[in-house]
Amino acid sequence: MQQREEKQLEASVESLISRVAHVKNALHSFIYKLENEYERLTWPSVLDNFALLSGQLNTINKLLKNEKTPSFRNQVIIPLLLSPDRDEDLAKLTEQRVPVFSHEIVPDYLRTKPDPEVEEQEKQLSAEAARIGPEVAQKQIQTLNKLCSNLLEKLNNPREDRDAESATMRQNKSSFNPADTNALVGAVAFGKGLSKCRPPGPVAPGHPGQGPMMSGGPTLQQVTIGGGSGQQAGMGGPVAPQQQGQPGKMPSSIKTNIKSASGSMHPYNR
Amino acid sequence: MMEYLLQGSVLDQALESLLHRLRGLCDNMEPETFTDHELVYLLKGQQGNPFILRARRSLSHPKAPWHLRYLGQPEVGDKSRHALVRNCVDVAASHSLPDFLNEMGFRMDHEFVANGHIFRKGAMKIVVSKLSRILVPGNTENTERLSLSYLVELSVLAPAGQDTVSEDMRSFAEQLKPLVHLEKIDPSKQRH
């Protein structure tokens, strides 16, 4: 009987040691990554590391709960010899982390009770739990369970449900205005709304000087332009609408001039 | 060289999310902002459409050379092509460009100030810009915004006949939905 228990104890301790070694390695590589490669680190890979650690802790828990594992609480570890001298074997076993098995390290490494602060907190929590009474506690447990199951349902449900709601929400805050698109494209392509002499607004003809002007200018302009597209005798043919004031001085002569100039090659014709 | 172009706009309140998305999708470079002053010059011919040249200078780098660009009419090819294609000629010019164009007979038709951000992904260039009207000709300090949206343009310069370019542009534009719908907008349809 006792031999079997001893064998079980040994086997379980060994498997525990190997699992803990895995956790140690995972932590080691994670810390290394955090310290040395933090510029390249992405959140998903950090999450992966945490997931790995959590999985390993889970296996340790399962191992401890395993029925084949004898209860470790029944075992007691008593240090038989404490010495302040350096122990080479111990140092090698623990990779130089515990070089001396002395009075300082024993309270930390062989501790079975939790830290005093932790003990205090646990006492407070259990006092609080005892204070609120069993019915209130039950109700709190039920609320927590309900919240968790709601959340799980929402997360596990197919995407269509979620998309339907979010689509209707998004319609209200659309991020672009097609009218604005057209206005901007018009402005860039041919100066809609940008021509200098027009009042600010999209009521600008694309090519001033071509065809009748639509702005509320004086009638003199229309007389001038009606005779041709910006061909003004002796005025060097510029197209910009700044010319509108000047031809007002000689409306009649322009008309006649244009009649004759249309047939000939005018030097300022552009 | 042909320029393949897709345009869209985004409202001011959605600008931040668009910039975040572009910073993630595009090549990893420091976000570049620019402030440019563009002048559009027209040369009236005897008949037909006037000849248009666009002169652009950077207000944030005043010593940089001017940039002169000619854009042709959009190619009316098959309707299935996803981007607007037009002929494009770009040259750099010295600071005497406006005087030179005036002497040649061009007259400035309109000008505006554009400032915003520029991103690149491979050969694609994405420009998010805010257009402002210049109230007093020649004074670029005194400007007024044209609208409450930013113009978003996706363009590629490539030799003619490469239709794979417009496919790539379309798939990139898909990734920007629903924040902004980039589509080919025919400027001649906008005119009236």
> Complex ipTM, two decimals?
0.83
Please tell me which of the candidates B108, B146, B179 has its beta carbon nearest to residue A183: B146
Record: contact A181-B185, CB cut-off 8 A: yes
The single-letter DSSP state of residue A194 is: T
Q: Reduced to 3 states, what is the DSSP secondary structure of residue A39?
A: coil
Question: Which residues of A are less than 8 Å from B13 in CB distance?
Answer: 175
CA distance A268 to B156: 40
- Among residues 9-38 of chain B, which lie with CB inside 8 Å of chain A? 9-11, 13-14, 17-18
Q: Whole-number mean pLDDT of chain B?
A: 85
**Closest residue, chain B, to A192 (C-alpha):** B191
Q: Within its chain, how far is the Cα of A72 from the centroid? A: 46
Comparison of pLDDT for B184 and A36, the residue scoring more: A36
At B16, which helix (H) or strand (E)? helix B15-25
**What is the rounded CA–CA span in Å between residue B130 and residue B115?**
5
**Cross-chain Cβ contact A186/B187 below 8 Å:** yes
Inter-chain touch A176–B109, beta carbons under 8 Å: no
Across the A:B interface, residue pairs with CB atoms under 8 Å apart total 115
| Closest alpha carbon to B131 in A102, A55, A188 | A188
pLDDT one-digit tens code per residue, B43-52: 887 777 788 8
Q: Is B177 in the A-facing interface, judged by CB distances under 8 Å?
A: no
Which residue bears the tokens 């907008």?
B185
Query: CA B147, CA B168: separation in Å to the nearest integer?
Result: 30
pTM, entire model: 0.49
Considering only A208-222, B90-104, B118-132, which range has the smallest mean pLDDT? Answer: A208-222
User: For position A164, what pLDDT does the model report?
Assistant: 63
Q: Which of A192, A121, A162, A180 is nearest to B192 (CA)?
A: A192
- Taking the CA of residue A140 as centre, how many other CA atoms within 13 Å lie in the half-sphere pointing to its CB? 7
In chain B, pLDDT over 90 holds for what percent of residues? 21
State CA B191 to chain mean position distance: 18
- Per CB-CB distance under 8 Å, the chain B contacts of A231 are none
Residue A112: name the closest of A138, A67, A159, A78 by CA: A78
Tens digits of pLDDT across chain A (270 residues): 788 888 888 888 898 999 999 999 999 999 998 888 877 888 888 888 999 999 999 988 888 888 777 788 778 888 888 888 888 888 888 888 888 888 888 888 888 788 888 999 999 999 988 888 888 889 999 999 999 999 998 888 876 566 666 666 655 567 778 888 888 888 888 777 776 544 444 433 333 333 333 333 333 333 333 333 333 333 333 333 333 334 334 444 444 444 444 445 555 655
Search chain A and give the residue with CA nearest B10. Answer: A176
Q: What sign for the dihedral angle of Cα A237, A239, A240, A245?
A: positive
Please tell me which residue of chain A has the smallest CA distance to B46.
A270
Closest-CA distance of chain B to residue A225, Å:
15
Model confidence at B66, in pLDDT bands (50, 70, 90)?
Answer: very high
Partner residue opposite A195 with nearest CB, options B8, B109, B180: B109
Mean pLDDT of the region B153-163: 85
Residue % of chain B over a pLDDT of 70: 94
- With an 8 Å Cβ cutoff, are B181 and A176 in contact? yes
> Tokens 């070089």 sit at which residue?
A99
- Element holding B114 (H helix, E strand): strand B107-121
Between A60 and B28, name the one with better pLDDT. A60
Q: Which of A175, A185, A188 sits opposite B10 (nearest CB)?
A: A175
The DSSP code sequence of B49-93 is SPEEEEEEEESSSTTSPEEEEEEEEEP---TT--SEEEEEEEEEE
Interface contact flag, A229 B44, Cβ < 8 Å: yes
CB nearest B137 (choices: A180, A187, A196) = A196
Amino acid identity for residue B182 in this structure: L
Chain B contact probe: residue of A188, A207, A214 with most B CBs at under 10 A: A188
Question: What would the mean pLDDT of B33-50 be, rounded to a whole number?
Answer: 86
Residues in chain A whose Cβ is within 8 Å of chain B: 170, 174-178, 180-196, 200, 206-210, 229-230, 237-240, 269-270
Neighbours of A166 (CB within 10 A): 11
In chain B, which among 80-139 make CB contacts under 8 A with chain A?
A: 105, 107-112, 131, 133-134, 137
Whether A196 sits inside 8 A of B146 (CB atoms) is no
CA nearest to B72 within chain A: A189
Give just the sign of the alpha carbon dihedral A20, A25, A28, A29: negative
In this complex, the residue of A185, A200, A237 whose CB is nearest that of residue B144 is: A200
Name the residue facing B180 among A175, A194, A229 (closest C-beta). Answer: A175
Q: Could you tell me which of B134, B122, B5, B40 has the C-alpha nearest to residue A200?
A: B134
What confidence score (pLDDT) does residue A77 get? 82
